[in-house]
């Protein structure tokens, strides 16, 4: 069995560690922040991601940490009208999480002693089938490096020097967690932006307002006041949600993604998660695809005769799906935040027969969600 270094202790890096443990590899996870955890607000996970979590052996705790959300079933306009409405008791394919809760599920499944915090990787080299990283004052060597160090990946910069930097997509988002219980989840489409609500654990709700912005890094002294100014007159419970979000906790981020890379593998280094294919959040798939990456990588390592063959299978298997998802999310985000397309989009959703809409958001409603994981060997 082999030994790996995983760079990054986010959802992708921890999923990789758990997957490597499942196949009997050892790993060291190097995370640059001094304290491990997910900052940020919430997220949803679709059936494909939930199947990946099952295969990682954490399906049960993940399902306990998540809350069913009908965000895709309740589509509204800013005056509160429903373009589509979920019926009470309708099954929903999606679970919503506070980010920290999903991260904790993966951390709990990571073997003790594998994660080193305060360990920023600044250099790497490869020779004779081994890869060595420089982190702080230390050097570590292993058979494989999994670079799960996010959209601004150091490993990608070092090994793919010609790859373009993250692309600003002309969109920006405010996010928050409010102490508001009992919401079913919804998506409100306004001209030039949308507002998403997911219920999350412990009686709270995650919200996100995504809208267009001509340049990145536009910031406001009071971000909560700014988002209230923009959409504080939208339908209930939007004003209440913003109001009940602690002022300092409103997050404002610009939306970037990555142009498709020609390969996710260089020698014994594999990019995983956002380091490989950061995508716009509009399909709710970024972290889900990193969970899939982890399962596919481990399955290839468990079955191919060499690490090289496994990495080749990982690369050729993952690139088409993740890059198609990223390009799809880029387009979806442009459409749902377009002022020019607003009337056509809302009319199209309103006129779609409810049964057809429900079908499209059923667990097997689209090709991305239908993904089935490869089997990892049963734990001894
Ligand atoms: C607004 C928004 C909403 C989203 N909603 C969803 C959703 O609903 N569903 C979904 O599936 N996805 C969603 N996503 C996408 C999701 O957040 C990301 O795809 C996912 O978190 C990526 O995980 P990762 O582990 O690959 O990268 P990251 O979470 O970025 O983790 C990278 C880690 O590497 C560490 N690191 C970086 N450089 C180094 C270094 N040199 N040395 C050591 N450590 C390093 C970082 O500190 C970090 O901990 C959303 C994204 C955004 C922006």
Give Cβ neighbours of residue 314 (< 8 Å, ≥ 6 apart). 264, 265, 270, 293, 296, 297, 300
Give the Å distances, CA to CA, from 189 to 83, 228, 248, 254, 345: 9, 16, 26, 19, 9
Instruction: Measure CA 217 to chain center.
Output: 22
DSSP 136: T
Pocket test for ligand 1, best of 149, 174, 210, 289 (most atoms within 8 A of CB): 149
The pLDDT-based confidence of 380 (bands split at 50, 70, 90) is low
* pLDDT average, residue stretch 223-247: 96
Nearest CA to ligand 1 atom 50: 281
Q: Is 77 helix (H, G, I), strand (E, B) or coil?
A: coil
Give distance in angstroms: CA of 146 to centre of ligand 1.
Answer: 14
Segment 331-365, tens digit of pLDDT: 999 999 999 999 999 999 999 999 999 999 998 98
Instruction: Tell me which residues have their CB closer than 6 angstroms to ligand 1.
Output: 7-13, 30-33, 43-45, 120-121, 148-150, 154, 173, 175, 208, 253, 273-274, 281, 284-288, 290
User: Order of strands, edge to edge, in the sheet holding 94-98?
Assistant: 42-45, 94-98, 67-69
Nearest CA to 17 out of 142, 193, 169, 178 is that of 142
Tell me the per-residue pLDDT of 102-120, one tens digit each, with 9 for 90 and over.
Answer: 999 999 999 999 999 999 9
Taking the CB of residue 324, how many other CB atoms lie within 10 A of it? 14
The tokens describing 158, both together, are 């070092």
H-run or E-run covering 176: strand 167-178
Ligand 1, atom 37, residue with closest C-alpha: 149
In terms of Cα–Cα distance, which of 299, 272, 311 is closest to 20? 299
Query: Probe ligand 1: pick from 274, 288, 337, max atoms within 8 Å of CB?
Result: 274
Distance CA 28, CA 3 (A): 8
* SS3 state at 179: coil
Atom 30, ligand 1: residue with shortest CA distance: 150
pLDDT of residue 344: 97
Per-residue pLDDT tens digits for 210-229? 999 999 999 999 999 999 99
Q: What percent of the chain has pLDDT over 70?
A: 100
Distance of CA 304 to the CA centre of its chain: 28
Q: How far is the CA of 333 from the centre of ligand 1 (A)?
A: 18
Q: Give the span between the Cα atoms of 308 and 304, in whole angstroms.
A: 9
User: Kind of pairing, strands 204-212 and 167-178?
Assistant: antiparallel
Based on the number of CB atoms within 10 Å of its own CB, is 236 exposed (0-12), middle (13-18) or buried (19 or more)? Answer: exposed
Which domains does the chain possess?
3-69+96-165+259-334 (3.50.50.60)
Confidence at 137, pLDDT banded by 50, 70, 90: confident
Mean pLDDT, the chain, whole residue set: 96
Q: Which of 66, 185, 286 to mutate to test the pocket of ligand 1 (most atoms within 8 A of CB)?
A: 286
Model confidence at 46: pLDDT above 70:
yes
């Amino acid at each position: 069995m082999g030994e790996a270094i995983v760079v990054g202790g986010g959802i992708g890096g921890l999923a990789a560690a758990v997957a490597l443990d499942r196949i009997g590899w050892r790993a060291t996870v190097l995370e640059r922040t001094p304290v491990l955890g997910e900052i940020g607000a919430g997220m949803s996970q679709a059936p494909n991601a939930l199947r990946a979590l099952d295969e990682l052996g954490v399906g049960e705790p993940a399902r306990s940490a998540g809350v069913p959300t009908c965000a895709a079933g309740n589509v509204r306009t800013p005056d509160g009208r429903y373009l589509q409405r979920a019926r009470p008791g309708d099954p929903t394919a999606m679970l919503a999480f506070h980010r920290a809760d999903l991260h904790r599920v993966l951390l709990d499944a990571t073997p003790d002693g594998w994660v080193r915090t305060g360990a920023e990787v600044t250099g790497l080299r490869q020779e004779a089938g081994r890869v060595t990283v420089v982190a702080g004052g230390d050097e570590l060597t292993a058979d494989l490096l999994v670079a799960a160090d996010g959209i601004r990946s150091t490993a990608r910069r070092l090994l793919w020097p010609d790859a373009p930097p993250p692309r600003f997509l002309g969109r920006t988002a405010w996010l928050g967690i409010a102490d508001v219980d009992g919401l079913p989840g919804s998506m409100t489409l306004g001209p030039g932006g949308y507002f998403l609500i997911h219920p999350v654990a412990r009686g709270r709700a995650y919200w996100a307002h995504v809208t267009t912005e001509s340049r990145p890094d536009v910031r406001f002294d009071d971000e909560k006041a700014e988002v209230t100014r923009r959409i504080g007159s939208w339908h209930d419970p939007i004003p209440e949600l913003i109001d009940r979000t602690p002022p300092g906790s409103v997050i404002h981020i610009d939306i970037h993604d990555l142009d498709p890379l020609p390969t996710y593998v260089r020698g014994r280094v594999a990019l995983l998660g956002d380091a490989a294919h950061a995508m716009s959040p509009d399909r709710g798939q970024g972290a889900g695809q990193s969970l899939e990456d982890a399962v596919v990588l481990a399955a290839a390592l468990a079955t191919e005769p060499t690490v090289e063959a496994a990495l080749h299978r990982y690369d050729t298997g993952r690139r088409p799906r993740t890059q198609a998802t990223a390009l799809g999310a880029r387009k979806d985000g442009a459409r749902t935040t377009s002022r020019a397309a607003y009337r056509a989009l809302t009319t199209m959703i309103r006129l779609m027969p409810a049964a057809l809409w429900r079908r499209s958001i059923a667990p097997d409603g689209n090709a991305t969600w239908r993904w089935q994981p490869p089997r990892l060997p049963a734990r001894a």
